[in-house]
Every structure is written in C-alpha cells, then in structure tokens.
Structure 1
Amino acid sequence: MNRIISVLAVFGVTVLSLNVNAQSADQILGKADSVLNAANDAKVTSTMTITDKGGAKRERTLELYQKGNDKRLVRFLTPADQKGIAFLSLPGDNQFLYLPAFGKVRRIASHVKNTKFAGTDYSYEDLEAKRYTAQWDATLKSKNASEYVLTLKPKKGTKSDYGQLEITIKADSYYPVRVEFFNKKGVAVKRLTVKEIGKYSGVLMPKDSEMADLQSGSTTRTVLQGVEVNKGLKDEVFTERNLAR
C-alpha cells in the first residue's frame, strides 16, 4: 500500500510539474498583464533623474494618474521650466500633449510617437497605457527556475515603432523586470530595467527603474516617492481639459 501511495505521489508531482511547464508564452504574458494592471486606479509621484552620456544630470518630479489599463496622465511638477508639461493616453490609440508655453493641447500623431517625451528617454509610445497581450504576440525564448524570457512581435494592425521586444518576467510574481526594445531592423535601441519592485496595498509597482537609450548613452531613472491605489479616480481626471489645468 505504501508503495502504491508513493508512486501516486510521484505521479501527482510529475503532472503538476508538466502543467506548470506547459504554460504558453501568451498565458505567461497574460499573467504579467494582470500583475501590471492589478490596481483599479493609481496616483503616483516620482523623482526622475536624466543622465546624459557625459554624466551631466537633470532632476524632475512628476505625478502619474492611471485608471484601468487604458487611461494614463503624466504631469511634470518641477523644475520651473518643465512644470505643467503633461501627457494623456486614452483608449483607441489617442494621445495628447500639453505644453504650457503654447497654452494649448495638441494631439500626438502616430508617426511621431517614437519622439522622446520632454527630454526623457521615454517615447510617447513607451508611456501609453496598454496591455501587452492586446498588441503583441509572444513566444517563449527561454526559462529557468526564476524567470521567463519572451520574445514579442507586434500583432497585425498594431502601430509601433518597435519591431520586437524581449521581456524578462519573474517566475514567482510574473512581474516584468527587464524589457529590451528593438527597431524594425532588429537592432536593440532601448532597455528598461526594474531595479526594485515595491508593494503598495498589495499591488506591485516598479519602485526603482531605469530606461536606457542604447544609442545616445543617456538614461532616465525613476524612483517612486508616493503611491495611492484604488482611491476611485474619476474619469474627469483623464480629459483634455484637466490636462491643461
């Protein structure tokens, strides 16, 4: 009897292992999407440090508001010459920019979404609110006990300046900790690295992260200073009118 129980136990562990290993790349990416969008809404304040190739630094503070996985507003608070510059991402590939110096909101055209946002190493495309599974098809490049590495290709109809992404996802939390961005010629042009993951009211977020421009040699490091989640943000926050306030 003991031998039978032992054999059944081994069989059960083997089946469980096979089920875990049988996860498709799209399933893994879907779990990552769920982790990234776990909060119904969030308000985040951050310190951003931009370092050029020569080592010169510029610091900024900003606030970010997000609701669901398709509404996001980013606004600079300091320094004085950047204060009020704001970006809004809405469903349907709609993006808007507000520059206080011009006093009006302008829509961002698809062909300029690879432009850097206000001198940072983030493009407008990088900042948009989205789910990976909605825009990218995934294949499993490699895996080990601690992480999965997926290769992402744009789905048919996806408008992206990138021809491919390579994303590293932690196996224990399904949180993405590294994204390599490739242009349409297959050359790596950017790298996003999450240096530290924070947990805020049960929601995982990148407490300390860095976007590196592999061509210019500049980096933008973002450190979270304050996080509020699930406070019931109103849709009015994510409007052109509020963008220009």
Structure 2
Amino acid sequence: MKLSTVLSAFLVCTPVALAVLAPPSVAQAADGAAVLAKLDRDAEAFADVSYVSSMEIWKKGSKKKTLQFDMVMKGLDKQYINFTAPGDVAGMKILMVGSELWMYSPEFQKVRKIAAHAQSQGFLGSEFTPEDMVMTNMSRHFTADISGQKGNETYLTLTPKADFQTSWSKLELTIDKTKGGVTKIKYFDGSGTAVREQTRGGWSKISGKAMPTQIKMKNLKTGAETVIQLSDIKVDQGVEDALFSRRTLLR
C-alpha cells in the first residue's frame, strides 16, 4: 500500500485542533499574539477527542475517492488513526507523537517512520499534506498580527518564525465570533501567492464548546478540493497515554 494513500487522510487532525474551542472573546484580545495564544489554549480545552471521519477527494467536480477512519487525539501532540475503508487501506494505522509520525502496514506487518522531508508533499490527490499535521501549536511556530476587523470577523496574519521550516510564507486566518472559532485559512507560497484555502463549517456544540464538523481544503490554482466530515464525536473519555505507542500500531 502506498504511503500517499494513508497520509492524505490522516491530516484532518490538525485543522480540527486549530478550529475547536475559540470563544467569541478571542477576537477581542489585545493583539495578534494574544489572539493566537488563546486559540492554542482553547484547542486543548478537552483532555481528549475521538471521532469517526470520512474524507472525499474531488477533482473537476467529480468525487474520485473516499477514505474512512477512526481518530483519537490527546492534547495537541498525540494522535492515533485506524483506517476502516476502503479495503486497500483498512487495517492501516498512523501514530503521531509530537512532530514524529509512524505508520503500520498490515500488508507487511511492519511499522515505519515517516520522513520529515515528505511533509510538504500532497498525496493521492488530497489537498492536505503531512506538514498540516505538525502545525498544531500555532503560537510556537508563527508570529501573529491583527490585519483587520469587520463585523463579527477578525483577520489574523501569521508569519513563520525563523526557526520553523514551512512551505508557507504566511497564513491568513478568519475568526468569526458568531461561530466561535477559525472559519477560514488562506495559505501563501514563497512568492506571496494564495495557493490554498481551508474553510470550516457544520459548527456544532460539543459539551458546550463550538467545533466544526466539516473541513474543506481547496487548491486555488486547480480548483481541486478535499472534504472531511466528522461524526460520532466524543470528548474527555479518559484516553490513556499507552494508546499512543508503536506497540499499539502492532496490535
């Protein structure tokens, strides 16, 4: 099984982590750094989160592939996925601890580490990349400035810090206080051109906190789009740290 098949679906976790739990007051923070720091803090309001997810890959208005998996997250730096469909990926597992990724292939019954140099690449037509995964604690990696405010929306421009390697020269976030979090992210390449746009919808209250249940990533050059849908969301289930180990991948 190609690594590309697996990684393209794994990347839902980071958008969810960043999107969750930013209450209306976040848009009223004193400066950009405070806004971003609050987003990070609020993203950890739940001790753990689990859900069932599907990811559809669309090209030229036609759905090309659908992947399904179960996800468990603990904080922002521990994530575990078990693929359930289609048949060519069922039984595959992915583990993330910090910035390190491992994959288990049932075909070879082996665990392999995913190299850092592959993190900026898209896979199997998906508009998500492994790099999206490691950008969970945004204030650790980016400086932030408030670039504008209009009505219920606050606009935040993020610039990567010197010690953080990324494909993006900047990110532009839209925070909607009526939704309770980040509703849009634009990604700019090294030349300053907007090349991707992520939008978040289907906002729902989970244990009193706002969370998007649909995440879309669109390629602004080709129009291709990847759509992730979350269901059966559960929080604070007392997930043990032992789940997030290479030993779990081999079970």
Scaled by the length of structure 2, the TM-score of the pair is 0.81
Does structure 1 residue 71 correspond to structure 2 residue 85?
A: no
- Paired residue for 2:165? 159
User: Do the aligned partners of 1:71 and 1:129 also contact (CA within 8 Å) in 2?
Assistant: no
Structure 1 gaps of 5+ residues are 1-19
Q: Find out whether 1:221 has 2:227 as its counterpart.
A: yes
Q: Within 1, Cα distance between the matches of 2:78 and 2:28?
A: 34
Confirm whether residue 170 of structure 1 aligns to residue 185 of structure 2. Answer: no
User: Relative contact order: is structure 1 or structure 2 higher (C-alpha 8 Å, sep ≥ 6)?
Assistant: 2
Residue 94 (structure 1) aligned with residue 100 (structure 2):
yes
Deviations 1:29-69 (A, max 9, x none): 12222332221101111122111125133222111111011
> Compared with structure 1, are the counterparts of its residues 181 and 22 closer, same or farther at alpha carbon in structure 2 (3 Å cutoff)?
closer
Q: What is residue 132 of structure 2 aligned with on the other side? A: 126
Q: Is the 8 A contact 1:47 1:60 kept in 2?
A: yes
In angstroms, what is the RMSD of aligned CA positions?
2.1
Q: Equivalents in 1 of 2:109, 2:126: separation in Å?
A: 21
**Residue in structure 1 matched with residue 44 of structure 2 by the alignment:** 37
| 2:56 matches 1:49 | yes
Residue 191 in structure 1 maps to residue 191 in structure 2: no
Distance (whole Å) between structure 1 residues aligned to residue 31 and residue 190 of structure 2: 25
Give the CA deviation at 1:239: 1.4
In structure 2, what is the Cα distance between the partners aligned to 1:125 and 1:242? 23
Aligned CA distance change for structure 1 residues 95 and 117 (closer, same or farther; 3 Å): farther
Distance in 2 of aligned mates of 1:110 and 1:213? 23
What is the identity percentage for the equivalent residue pairs of Structure 1 and Structure 2? 30
Secondary structure in 1 matching 2:203: strand
C-alpha distance in 2 between matches for 1:167 and 1:139: 10
Aligned to 2:90: 83
Counterpart of 1:233?
239
Structure 2 Cα separation of the partners of residues 191 and 244 of structure 1: 36
Partner of 1:105: 111
Structure with higher Rg: it is 1
> 1:16 aligns to what?
none
Aligned to 2:33: 26
Runs ≥4 residues deviating over 4 A: none
Q: Distance in 1 between matches of 2:145 and 2:222?
A: 29
Structure 2 counterpart of 1:6? none
Number of positions where the alignment pairs a residue of Structure 1 with one of Structure 2: 225
Q: 1:145 Cα shift? A: 2.6
